[in-house]
Structure formats: structure tokens, C-alpha cells
Amino acid sequence: MTKSMVVLGSTGSIGTQTLDVAEKYNMKICALTAHSNVKLMEQQVRKFRPAIAVMYDEAAATQLRTAIADTDTQVLCGMEGLIEAATMDGADVVLNSLVGMVGLEPTLAACSAHKDIALANKETLVAGGELVMNTVKEAGVALLPVDSEHSAIFQCLQACPDSKFLKKLILTASGGPFFGRTRDELQNVTVEQALAHPNWSMGAKITVDSASMMNKGLEIIEARWLFDVTADNIDVVVHRQSIIHSLIEFTDNSVLAQLGVPDMRIPIQYALTYPDRVTSPAGELDLTKVGILTFDKPDYDTFECLTACKTALSKGGTSPAIANGANEAANLLFRQGKIPFLKIGELVTGAVANVKSVPITKLSDVLEADRTAREYVWQAVQ
Ligand code: MG
């Protein structure tokens, strides 16, 4: 089991649930980082006494420094602070639950500092792909998935002794709040409606990604890198109840699934205790209460983000980083009420088609693709 841990993004949904697990099992917390939630960070610092606390926002760091002046915790800020936390001595595992591309550099730095990674920041793998996987291999560290779907596949793969027996991965998707709706019916949906996820309680960015199905597109790309399979060997099935978290199919057409109540503490904990299992604060699954499990085909025309991600993956190079960068910009514009919901898919599709994609040889290729994709979106909505 993980002995000591750094939590990047500790005040978010995954971060707070990670600290629930850490508290239950007395894991040592070496560093915590957040964007700007000073109040919650202060509580976390007082409870877990990390050596370092990072506020990404500089003004928030100044406030936190005053608030916890009576403690021994050192307060840092910005990307520099994140990297310092991600590479600090004494930590075994870095749990990365940052939101967005900002998670990429700390992941790379943590790998190079020989930390195992528990990854909840999907943008890291989507944008960095091969670069991240090569860094993981070179450093000889473990990369353990926290996302529920990838954790499910990882758990199923424990029963697959050789990758030659694996035929495909089947990712389940809840379909979000807008499953079954036509483009016409989605013309005027509001931010509040997009934020009302039927099964999972998550942060705003990922909840909107779930409504647009961009989240599943990102997860396809993430799965391609995590499990070294081709895009053609990854299927998506809409499963409204979010009880089956994903499945794998073997060459003999036998299919294995992982099930559980939709509670992120199960996959978070597995990433931290792997290969062991311990009791969980999450509830038991009562199949007789669930009753019916349903499966549907995704609607690739209406939810075009999903199609754009598949296109980006087959184009390769920086195309997935472009899809991700365009989505981060478009998702925010939608949440700010500046563009309608369907515009997100249009912008991501447009960016993948029009922004120049190049092979990735270094980090700056990814950062440049991300920047250009955001620029494309901002220009397009002028
Ligand atoms: Mg997921």
C-alpha cells in the first residue's frame, strides 16, 4: 500500500475523496496543491500537516501563507510550486487530479523523479500520449489509472496473462444528462442542465465534458496509451446506470466486466493499494436494487466531440492535444454563457480539421499545439 503521497488538486472532487481514503488508511501526505480554494486548503493543511502546500494562484498563496503562519507547512505557488510538490523527496506516489493540460508537466516531472503516478488527470495522457508513456518507461515507474473506466479495464486485465489474448476494450459511458436528445433538442440547453449529471458527482469541467461526451472521447485516447491498444480495438457503449465501469473482450469472445456503485473512492483506493485490496468507505453493490442494466449505441452525429476525438487519435501526432486544447477553451466559454452547447462539438471538430498537427518529439510540440488550438477557438467565436 502507498505509504506517502502527494495530492495534486487536493480541493477538487477526486482530491477530497483521495484524502478520505488517505485518512482511513493513515497514509502520509507530503504535499497538497490547489488552484485557489484557500479555505479548504487551510483545513486540509491543519488535518494532514504536509511539508508543502501549493496554491497555483499567487494571490491565493499569499492568503494561505498568512492563514497557516502558525504551522510548519511551506507555501508555494504556480507551475514551479506544482513541480516542486510533484518531485519532493520522501513521496512514493503522486496522485494527479489536476484539471486540464496544467497536469502534464507535473506528471512528467514526477516520473523523472521516480515517483509512481496515480493518474486522474486525463488531459496528461490525451495531450502528452507517447511522450508520457516513454517517460514512464524510461523512469521505470508505475502509472496507475484512477478514472473509473480505466481502473475497471486495469482490474479486468489482471485476468489477462498475455496481451495476445485481448481482443478489445469496451468503455462504458453514462451518456450524461442529454442522452437520447436530438441536435434540435440541444440547441438551447443551459449550463445548469449540462451540470446535472444523473450518476456521478464531479467538478464542473468534467461534468460538461460528460454532457458533450468529450469526456468519453478523451477516455478513448487515454485508454489507447494506458493499455497500448489501437483505436480500432476500443469500443464505447452507453450504459445509463454506471454500474458496469468498463469491460474487456478476449480472443475467444469471453467478456469480463468490473462492477460497483458509482463511487470514485473505489478506483482511487485501488490505485493506492494495488495489487492489494482493503475495505472501502464506498457502499456495497446490491444488484437486486439496481434491477436492470441497459446498453445503447452512442450517437456519434449528435455528440460530435466523440467523433472528433476518434479522428484526432487516428490522425496522431499533436491532433489529440489540439482536440483537448480546443475543448478546454470551448468548455469554459460554454460555462461562461458565451457560446451555446452544440458549439463545443463544432469547435473541437473544426480545430481537429484545421489546426496543423505535427509529430510529437518534445514537450514544446504539445504545448504549442494546445496554445494554437485555444487560439483557433477564440478566433472562431470573435
Ligand atoms: Mg471516467
| Per-residue confidence (pLDDT) for residue 197, from 0 to 100 | 80
pLDDT tens digit string along 167-208?
Answer: 999 999 999 999 999 999 999 999 999 998 878 778 899 999
Over residues 113-164, the pLDDT tens digits come to: 999 999 999 988 999 999 999 999 999 999 999 999 999 999 999 999 999 9
pLDDT of residue 86: 98
- How far does the centroid of ligand 1 lie from the alpha carbon of residue 165, in Å? 25
Measured in angstroms, how far is the CA atom of residue 160 from the centroid of ligand 1?
22
308: left (phi over 0), alpha (psi -120 to 50) or beta: alpha
Strand-pairing partners, residue 248, are: 169, 256
Q: How far is the CA of 37 from the centre of ligand 1 (A)?
A: 24
Q: Is the pLDDT of residue 3 over 90?
A: no
Q: Tell me the CA–centroid distance for residue 146 and ligand 1, in Å.
A: 9
Say what the pLDDT of residue 201 is. 74
Q: What is the pLDDT of residues 36-69, one digit of tens each?
A: 999 999 999 999 999 999 999 999 999 999 999 9
pLDDT at residue 202 in the model: 80
Q: How far is the CA of 241 from the centre of ligand 1 (A)?
A: 14
Nearest residue to 214 (alpha-carbon basis) of 371, 349, 18: 349
Share of the chain above pLDDT 90, in %: 94
Average pLDDT over residues 234-257: 98
- How many whole angstroms separate alpha carbon 142 and alpha carbon 372? 32
- Res 203: pLDDT: 86
User: What distance in angstroms lies between residue 152's CA and the mean position of ligand 1's atoms?
Assistant: 10
* pTM of structure: 0.94
User: Residue 177's pLDDT is what?
Assistant: 92
Alpha carbons 100 and 110: distance in angstroms, whole number: 17
Q: Could you write out the DSSP letters of every residue in 143-176?
A: EEE-SHHHHHHHHHHTT-SSGGGEEEEEEEE--G
Q: Residue 46 C-alpha to ligand 1 middle, in angstroms? A: 31
As a whole number, the mean pLDDT across the chain is: 96
| Cα of 71 from ligand 1 centre, angstroms | 36
What would the mean pLDDT of 30-39 be, rounded to a whole number? 97
Ligand 1 centroid to 294 CA: how many Å?
A: 18
Distance between Cα 119 and ligand 1 center (Å): 12
Residue 379 has pLDDT above 80, yes or no: yes
- Is residue 217 scored above 80 in pLDDT? yes
C-alpha of residue 147 to centroid of ligand 1, in Å: 5
Residue 90 Cα to ligand 1 midpoint, Å, equals: 30
Better-scored residue on pLDDT, 254 or 2: 254
Q: At what angle do helices 214-227 and 204-212 cross, to 10 degrees?
A: 100
- Please state the rounded mean pLDDT for residues 94-106: 95
Residue 254, helix vs strand vs coil: coil
Distance 62 CA to ligand 1 centre (A): 34
What is the 123 CA–ligand 1 centroid distance (Å)? 12
Measured in Å, residue 148 CA sits from the centre of ligand 1 at: 5
In angstroms, what is the span from residue 43 Cα to ligand 1's centroid?
Answer: 28
Q: pLDDT band for 249, please (50, 70, 90 cuts).
A: very high
pLDDT bucket at 353, cuts 50 / 70 / 90 = very high
CA of 99 to the centre of ligand 1 (A): 13
pLDDT score recorded for residue 255: 98
* 223 Cα to the center of ligand 1, angstroms: 11
CA of 61 to the centre of ligand 1 (A): 31
